[in-house]
């Protein structure tokens, strides 16, 4: 049981990295990786939101939406799973809003650091993607918790290393048209290649 | 930017000079994941066009009724409705392709193109223009998707829409498919090269960031 959880964690951080293997959360990855400090801030915000929303969406899916999930109020034949997209995105948007209010109320310092990133996260594909993968792979509750946390760690690791590389790239002299976005994509490709080496390790 | 309300320019702009993927860097997530084969890329492009044009049309119709403070959640629910329609349709009639696309149809909801067009165009323009703008953005997105998918499928498996185009005697002469093209990193690199190509072709305009 625990070995399985460790395996899911390592898999979601390295071999199945949410950004480098499944391309999720690219938009904010390209836009925010110009500066290491903002990258770290956004990384922590993503870890936080992912570890909260993934298990929450698990509960919602398995007790309200999945085929036969409504047996506890006497409706065993109802299948609401087609509503999962709209439910998940509503949960994510509501959670992000709630977290923003709570942080604002209790910790001004944390709010100053994370606050600006929270609205960005509601439309980050990595968050919704993790919830959808969690449904597709039939994770249990504990697994979904670990999977959400691990995906966040993997995403943060990728964006911080990208920000570090982009600082060095400022001194590079690429051909016309290649600077900025094009170069970022190619460097991301090389990073994805490096991360693929982890797939030789079996858990 | 002057003739902003000319229907033709609204349609053509997102296809080339304001291409959502190559120039505005929006909606990259799904563009990379579904481009291993032309077939999935085509289906994804069509679904995207449907969702972005219909949701822009609806949001534009309701633009005077939507309260400003809660507009994001209203937009998200309109978009999700169309995504659910698309997903159910694909699962009913194209089950194999919908299995291959897995979560990426659902991820159209958080695709920045849809939200971006809703926020920056549909909220301030009449419905028919918003619809045309949506179709244009869908085509702009789709053209990049098909270009990437064409390169990856041709070099990666020697096929085009599932039909073999690299002749057999190439293989007997020692030619081999580049398996790398089917993996994740190749998608990043091809998009990077396409962006470089387009930027070099539009040299007269300052597009550097």
Q: Compute the nearest-CA separation of B103 from chain A (Å).
A: 6
CB contact under 8 A, B209 and A192: no
Q: Compute the nearest-CA separation of B35 from chain A (Å).
A: 12
- Alpha-carbon distance B101 to A179, whole Å? 32
Which member of A27, A127, A184 has the closest CB to residue B112?
A27
Residue A31 has pLDDT above 80, yes or no: no
CB B31 within 8 A of CB B148: yes
Residue B2 has pLDDT above 50, yes or no: no
Map residue A77 onto helix, strand or coil.
coil
**Chain B: residue nearest A123 by CA?**
B110
Per-residue pLDDT reduced to its tens digit, A40-58 = 888 888 888 899 999 999 9
Per-residue pLDDT reduced to its tens digit, B149-193 = 998 888 888 888 878 888 888 888 878 787 788 888 888 888 888
- Which carries the bigger pLDDT value, residue B21 or residue B197? B197
**Chain A: residue nearest B26 by CA?**
A27
Per DSSP, what are the bridge partners of residue B163? B160
- What integer is the mean pLDDT of A89-108? 82
pTM of the full structure:
0.82
Q: Compute the nearest-CA separation of B96 from chain A (Å).
A: 15
Which member of B88, B102, B198 has the closest CB to residue A136?
B102
Per-residue pLDDT reduced to its tens digit, B34-82 = 888 888 899 999 999 999 999 999 999 988 888 877 787 888 889 999 9
On chain A, the residues whose CB falls within 8 A of the CB of B27 are: 27
- Alpha-carbon distance B41 to B108, whole Å? 13
């Amino acid at each position: 049981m625990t070995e399985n959880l460790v395996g899911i964690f390592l898999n979601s951080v390295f071999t199945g990295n949410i950004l480098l293997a499944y391309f999720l959360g690219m938009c904010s990855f390209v836009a925010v990786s110009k500066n290491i400090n903002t990258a770290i801030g956004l990384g922590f915000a993503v870890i936080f939101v992912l570890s909260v929303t993934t298990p929450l969406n698990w509960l919602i899916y398995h007790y309200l939406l999945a085929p036969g999930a409504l047996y506890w109020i006497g409706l065993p034949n109802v299948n609401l799973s087609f509503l999962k997209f709209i439910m998940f995105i509503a949960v994510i948007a509501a959670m992000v809003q709630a977290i923003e209010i709570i942080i604002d109320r209790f910790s001004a310092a944390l709010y100053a650091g994370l606050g600006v990133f929270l609205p960005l996260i509601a439309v980050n594909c990595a968050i919704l993607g993790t919830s959808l993968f969690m449904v597709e792979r039939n994770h249990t509750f504990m697994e979904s918790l670990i999977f959400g946390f691990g995906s966040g760690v993997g995403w943060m690791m990728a964006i911080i290393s990208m920000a570090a590389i982009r600082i060095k790239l400022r001194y590079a002299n690429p051909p016309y048209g290649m600077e900025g976005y094009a170069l970022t994509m190619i460097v991301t490709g090389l990073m994805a290649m490096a991360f693929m080496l982890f797939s030789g390790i079996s858990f | 930017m002057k003739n902003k309300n000319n229907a033709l320019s609204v349609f053509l702009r997102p296809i080339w000079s304001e291409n959502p993927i190559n120039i505005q860097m929006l909606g990259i997530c799904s563009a990379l994941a579904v481009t291993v084969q032309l077939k999935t890329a085509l289906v994804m492009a069509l679904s995207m066009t449907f969702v972005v044009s219909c949701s822009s049309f609806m949001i534009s119709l309701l633009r005077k009724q939507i309260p400003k403070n809660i507009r994001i959640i209203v937009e998200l629910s309109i978009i999700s409705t169309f995504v659910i329609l698309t997903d159910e349709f694909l699962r009913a009639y194209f089950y194999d392709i919908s299995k291959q696309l897995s979560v990426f149809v659902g991820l159209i909801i958080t695709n920045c193109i849809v939200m971006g067009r809703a926020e920056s165009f549909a909220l301030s323009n009449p419905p028919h223009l918003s619809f045309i703008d949506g179709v244009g953005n869908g085509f702009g997105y789709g053209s990049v998707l098909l270009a990437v998918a064409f390169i990856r499928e041709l070099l990666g498996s020697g096929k085009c829409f599932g039909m073999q185009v690299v002749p057999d005697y190439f293989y007997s002469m020692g030619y081999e498919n580049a398996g790398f093209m089917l993996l994740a990193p190749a998608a990043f690199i091809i998009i990077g090269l396409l962006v470089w190509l387009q930027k070099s072709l539009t040299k007269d305009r300052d597009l550097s960031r």
